């Protein structure tokens, strides 16, 4: 878990290959490599035809710590389809209000 099990180390400056540019900052630290982000990608045609999906994609936000925790469960051997279904159910149970708000936004956009 970032901030608990992981301490990001800062470098004095980034030196990316071949003059590449990227966001290398995490908080107030320069990590020296590109910071990844996870995003939904959809075509304009799909979004226009599916306003509920667009609203869901815009509303849904996952905490990186939740993603790290689930990745650890998989790494620890909880990697079957049933395990992953259980991870999802447990996450929804622990984050029911946020989950319900995402669905409400999607349902409102579908009207």
pLDDT in tens, 46-91: 999 999 999 999 999 998 889 889 999 999 999 999 999 999 999 9
pLDDT in tens, 15-51: 888 878 888 988 888 988 887 778 899 999 999 999 9
CB-count exposure of residue 82 (10 Å: 0-12, 13-18, 19+): exposed
DSSP states along 45-91? HHHHH-HHHHHHHHH----HHHHHHHHHHHHTT--SHHHHHHHHHHH
Those residues whose C-beta lies under 8 Å from the C-beta of residue 103, and which sit 6 or more positions away, are: 56
Which of 60, 42, 55 has the alpha carbon at shortest distance from 109? 55
- CA dihedral sign of residues 99, 58, 107, 51: negative
Query: What CA–CA distance (Å, rounded) separates 48 from 100?
Result: 23
The pTM of this model reads 0.71
Do residues 65 and 82 touch, judged by C-beta distance below 8 A?
Answer: no
Domains of the chain, residue spans: 1-37, 44-110
CATH superfamily membership of 44-110: Periplasmic binding protein-like II (3.40.190.10)
């Amino acid at each position: 878990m970032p901030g608990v099990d992981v301490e990001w180390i800062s470098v004095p400056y980034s030196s990316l290959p071949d003059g590449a540019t990227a966001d290398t900052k995490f908080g107030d630290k320069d990590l020296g490599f590109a910071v990844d982000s996870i995003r939904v990608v959809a075509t304009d045609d799909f979004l226009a035809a599916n306003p509920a999906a667009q609203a869901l994609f815009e509303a849904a936000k996952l905490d990186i710590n939740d993603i790290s925790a689930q990745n650890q469960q998989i790494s620890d051997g909880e990697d079957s389809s049933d395990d992953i279904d259980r991870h999802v159910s447990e996450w929804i149970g622990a984050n029911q209000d946020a989950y319900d708000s995402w669905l409400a936004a999607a349902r409102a956009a579908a009207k």
